[in-house]
Chains A and B, each alone.
Chain A
């Protein structure tokens, strides 16, 4: 335990957030990837840039709430446009993503004293996690984690087929909204650590690595959760140790596990029932 005692408090904060958000992102990610919502997650995270810009513009020092609120606004806009226009979902998201990034960059470059901060929001910074963020992450992720576990069956059924979920009594409309809400909150809370550009990788890579090893959904969920935990923990420690940006460090840790899982899955586990991707 001497390792933990010698750490500065900012590192403890970052480490705590990583081991809380990592598994949660990874768990949600199993459904996000299966529902092909990775681009949605990317759009949400990029919209945070506009949130940060707006927050600074109105004089807020801490960008956490602006990020969360603006991301929710963008998520709502995506859903609304999807329902009320004939635009393709991809088009809608590309539109909002580039719009948010453009707006955020312009605001940040106009505010002369904020220019240097762009880098830390894009790639994540362990220095930027304060004690409030830690508490917010713990409270929200335990609430969301518990919600996800009680709703595991309906969410899994919804992911398999909305029609079958409906006839099995799932309120699909509300569950869809709830899922989007949860994903938005989780992604925007992970931005501090992972950075806007890389946060989606924590939603995508652990489930993909787990997919290489798992034979069913239960195994994939459990493995993904563990991989997210290890990736988050190893990444923040590496970021501290070598003084590198936190997001890339976590991504590289997850990628290393992914490559390992690919090798193990291909050469060690004999899986005759594995579906070949078409």
Chain B
């Protein structure tokens, strides 16, 4: 068993089906990054999540797909403790107390529109993540910069340090938010539609970049995406959500039209990516 799980951690892609079988036996194991059991959430009197179950293995790049309003954001918010579940259980990095696991998690929300009346610079914004509890106020800039530069350069935003975050373009802001999420060297990176606001040529390189970060840092990545070709190229496991988990599996398994139709229902024709020859 030990050998089995070790191989799973090292080569998640080539052991998809084996790991799936393995998962059925061991839901509480140390290699589970996120485990959600029978999660029910209702918002404004409407039931949004109706018994979601999922178990994400460490080291994977997991894609969460589903039509608009299917509860993807709600699920991720529940995972990081931003949304209180009605019933059900969430375990994050082996912790039942989500708050305890949060220092090891990076999260990029779907919608973050910085207020123009708040003149926080990119440097200050990122410094708040580095030293949330101590006072960043009295620190010299160069000390902060040293700690920020590597991650900034990786995402290609090192020139933005002095800009107010409210003055960034959508794509620049997304990148800065990813730097924010990566600063504390998380074990788990949760991205809710990371390419919102990124131009479409940039989108491909953006996903390549996330794929590369995933490989190089050996972290677990969960991302929401509407771009099914990206899912096919980078994800090692896919969950299709529509209030419940409609289907899960390798991209090949999930991408077959029947399973997807079940998820997207009548919306399927709106998603032109489905026609791609995979």
Q: Which residues of B contact A168 (CB under 8 A)?
A: 102, 128-129, 132
Which interface class (under 10, 10 to 19, 20 to 34, 35 or more) fits A?
20 to 34
Whether A149 touches B137, Cβ cut-off 8 Å, given contacts A163-B112, A164-B109, is yes
Q: Which residues of B contact A221 (CB under 8 A)?
A: 137
Expressed in whole angstroms, the Cα–Cα distance for A161 and B102 within the complex equals: 16
Judge whether B156 is part of the interface by a CB distance below 8 angstroms: no
Partner of A167, one of B82, B128, B133, B136: B82
Partner of A277, one of B80, B103, B116, B131: B116
- Do the beta carbons of A220 and B119 come within 8 Å of each other? yes
Judge whether A91 is part of the interface by a CB distance below 8 angstroms: no
The interface bits of chain B over 125-165 (1 if a CB of A lies within 8 angstroms of the residue's CB, else 0) are 10011011111110000000000000000000000001111
Expressed in whole angstroms, the Cα–Cα distance for A167 and B109 within the complex equals: 10
- Do the beta carbons of B128 and A160 come within 8 Å of each other? yes
Expressed in whole angstroms, the minimum distance between the Cβ of B214 and any Cβ of chain A is 19
Judge whether A58 is part of the interface by a CB distance below 8 angstroms: no
Expressed in whole angstroms, the Cα–Cα distance for A160 and B129 within the complex equals: 12
Q: Which residues of A contact B133 (CB under 8 A)?
A: 153-154, 169
Partner of A273, one of B116, B132, B163, B180: B163
- Do the beta carbons of B135 and A169 come within 8 Å of each other? no
Judge whether A33 is part of the interface by a CB distance below 8 angstroms: yes
Number of interface residues of B (CB under 8 A): 39
Q: Closest chain B residue to A33 by CB distance?
A: B117
Q: Which residues of A contact B77 (CB under 8 A)?
A: 163
Expressed in whole angstroms, the Cα–Cα distance for A167 and B99 within the complex equals: 8
Partner of B135, one of A152, A167, A214, A217: A152
- Do the beta carbons of B137 and A160 come within 8 Å of each other? no
Q: For residues 186 through 215 of chain A, which have their beta carbon under 8 Å from a beta carbon of chain B?
A: 211, 214-215
Do most interface residues of chain A lie in helix, strand or loop, or is the interface mixed?
Answer: helix
Expressed in whole angstroms, the minimum distance between the Cβ of B231 and any Cβ of chain A is 24
Q: Which residues of B contact A152 (CB under 8 A)?
A: 135-137
- Do the beta carbons of B80 and A160 come within 8 Å of each other? no
Judge whether B105 is part of the interface by a CB distance below 8 angstroms: yes
Q: Which residues of A contact B103 (CB under 8 A)?
A: 169
- Do the beta carbons of B162 and A215 come within 8 Å of each other? yes
Q: Which residues of B contact A153 (CB under 8 A)?
A: 128, 131-137
- Do the beta carbons of A169 and B120 come within 8 Å of each other? no
Q: Which residues of A contact B102 (CB under 8 A)?
A: 166-169
Q: Closest chain A residue to B123 by CB distance?
A: A216
Interface centre among B81, B112, B117, B137 (most CB of A within 10 A): B117
Whether A156 touches B117, Cβ cut-off 8 Å, given contacts A163-B109, A163-B112, is no
Judge whether B167 is part of the interface by a CB distance below 8 angstroms: yes
Whether A216 touches B167, Cβ cut-off 8 Å, given contacts A160-B128, A169-B102, A169-B103, is no
Expressed in whole angstroms, the minimum distance between the Cβ of B159 and any Cβ of chain A is 12
- Do the beta carbons of A154 and B121 come within 8 Å of each other? no
- Do the beta carbons of B115 and A34 come within 8 Å of each other? yes
Partner of B125, one of A160, A163, A170: A160
Judge whether B193 is part of the interface by a CB distance below 8 angstroms: no
Judge whether B166 is part of the interface by a CB distance below 8 angstroms: yes
Please list the 9 inter-chain residue pairs (A to B) with the smallest Cβ-Cβ separation, ordered nearest first: A34-B118, A216-B121, A275-B167, A167-B107, A157-B128, A275-B166, A217-B120, A275-B116, A163-B109
Q: Which residues of B come within 8 Å of A, CB atoms? A: 77, 80-82, 99, 102-103, 105-107, 109, 112, 114-121, 123-125, 128-129, 131-137, 162-167, 180
20 sample A-B contacts, Cβ–Cβ < 8 Å, listed by A number: A34-B118, A36-B115, A36-B117, A153-B137, A154-B132, A156-B124, A157-B129, A160-B118, A163-B112, A166-B80, A167-B80, A167-B81, A168-B128, A169-B102, A216-B124, A217-B118, A217-B119, A220-B119, A273-B162, A273-B167
